[in-house]
Amino acid sequence: MPAAATDRARYNRATAHLDAPVAIVDLRAFDANARDLVRRARGKPVRVASKSVRCRALLERALAMDGFSGIMSFTLAESLWLARSGFPDVLLAYPSADRAGFAALTGDAGLAAAVTVMVDDPAQLNLIDAARSGDAEVRVCLEMDASLRLLGGRVRIGARRSPLWSPARLAELARTVVRRPGFRLVGLMAYEGHVAGVGDALAGQPVRSRAIRLMQAAARRDLAARRAAAVRAVRAVSDLEFVNGGGTGSVQHTAAEDAVTEVAAGSGLYQPRLFDDYTSFQGRPAALFAQPVVRRPGLGVVTVLGGGYPASGPAGTDRLPVPYLPAGLRYDTNEGPGEVQTPLLGPPVDDLLIGDKVWFRHAKAGEMCERFDELHLVDGDRVVATVPTYRGEGRTFL
């Protein structure tokens, strides 16, 4: 039996007692993906990106494995919640304007010791000081802009994140932090999303894939040199506990840089659809959701309940979930995946019965968890645990 058919049979047996819609995580695939991230990190610790997991039990599972250390969070409220839940090392990946959160952070020395906040502008320090409720020292990480700039800056490739592109500007802000009472500079981060989050082996697009590989090679060379210079410049101002970089798609490249002390990854644990198109690694789909067949409108088509869960980012078909099992299903191009119904076409449909499950993969990783209160953890053909997502714990943080 082909692997896809075997997986479908396992998942159907494991969830036979559960009505769809239902979401699962295949623990064997999750653990295999985790081991591969550690292998690619070349001995440097992997910090788990919580945005891509959004489940405390699975964050704990990853962090219990050799090679993982610390969490990269996505909001200050989440950071505080994780710290209160017992996670001792939480790096907030984005600047925040959460005044209530900063009041809580500065009023509690224990929280302040566990959470590191992201800064790329002195105005953010002003906001934190204005929100202070106590004298707890705030741990600060500077974010460096990782974008590739060509033709004297007229061409820019990469996410619009930090304004701090040059080592000199990073050193200038480092001096501002060091001189300011109540703050301690502990880290530097750069996220190369144009390398880590863009596949370089797009199906049916060889010319574009080749262009992406050339761009990414140039971006890696530029960033490695600039990041090393930035780390030297900032370390001349203050010692650093860590230098963070990377993402699932660039773990092995970023880890090879001497200046980097740790890498970040999260999506690679679930292996969503957008991470299939890489030449450098291949993960196993671990996070899936199922929708039930509710209609058979005619020969060659079935309809499942809902399933229209688009991912964030630029609108396009690559942001849609994909029907995964049984293999060979496709959307009706006139309807696509809908909020309340999704017609499906393809050879397998005439074998599907009312009530059968169709398994989907989300385009992104943690965003699937915003649709479900719980994840059923599958080992082989059994559900061995059911755990809440952030949403199931009443914590969306969005």
More confident residue, 206 or 378: 378
Strands 287-298 and 22-26: antiparallel
How does residue 47 score in pLDDT terms, banded at 50, 70 and 90? very high
Lowest mean per-residue pLDDT among 242-246, 312-316, 378-382? 312-316
How does residue 257 score in pLDDT terms, banded at 50, 70 and 90? very high
What local confidence, expressed as pLDDT, does residue 210 receive?
Answer: 84
How does residue 133 score in pLDDT terms, banded at 50, 70 and 90? very high
d(Cα 361, Cα 26) in Å, to the nearest integer?
A: 12
Average pLDDT over residues 221-230: 89
Say if residues 100 and 79 touch (Cβ distance below 8 Å). no
Whether residue 49 is predicted with pLDDT greater than 80 in this model: the reply is yes
Whether residue 1 is predicted with pLDDT greater than 60 in this model: the reply is no
**Quick one: tokens of 148?**
């590739």
Residue carrying the six token digits 């200038």: 172
Lowest mean per-residue pLDDT among 72-86, 123-137, 201-215, 319-333? 201-215
Whether residue 205 is predicted with pLDDT greater than 80 in this model: the reply is yes
Q: Comparing C-alpha atoms, which of 111, 19, 72, 51 is closest to residue 389? A: 51
CB hemisphere CA count around 115 (13 angstroms):
35
What local confidence, expressed as pLDDT, does residue 215 receive?
Answer: 79
pLDDT per position as a tens digit, 260-274: 999 999 999 999 998
How does residue 209 score in pLDDT terms, banded at 50, 70 and 90? confident
d(Cα 45, Cα 157) in Å, to the nearest integer?
A: 28
Q: What one-letter code names the amino acid at 173?
A: L
Residue carrying the six token digits 């971006």: 219
Burial class (CB in 10 A: 0-12, 13-18, 19+), 94: middle
Say if residues 21 and 372 touch (Cβ distance below 8 Å). yes
More confident residue, 376 or 165: 376
What ranges in 132-192 are assigned the alpha helix state H?
167-179
Whether residue 99 is predicted with pLDDT greater than 60 in this model: the reply is yes
d(Cα 195, Cα 185) in Å, to the nearest integer?
A: 27
Torsions phi, psi of 120, nearest 5?
-140, 15
Average pLDDT over residues 128-147: 94
Whether residue 122 is predicted with pLDDT greater than 80 in this model: the reply is yes
More confident residue, 121 or 193: 121
- Under 8 Å CB-to-CB from 266, ≥6 apart: which residues? 48, 49, 50, 51, 52, 53, 72, 248, 365, 366
d(Cα 160, Cα 162) in Å, to the nearest integer?
A: 7
What local confidence, expressed as pLDDT, does residue 176 receive?
Answer: 97
Q: Give helix 122-131 / helix 167-179 axis angle, nearest 10°.
A: 20
d(Cα 59, Cα 92) in Å, to the nearest integer?
A: 15
**In whole numbers, what is the pLDDT of the chain averaged over residues?**
93
How does residue 221 score in pLDDT terms, banded at 50, 70 and 90? confident
What local confidence, expressed as pLDDT, does residue 346 receive?
Answer: 95
Average pLDDT over residues 216-237: 89
Whether residue 2 is predicted with pLDDT greater than 80 in this model: the reply is no
How does residue 191 score in pLDDT terms, banded at 50, 70 and 90? confident
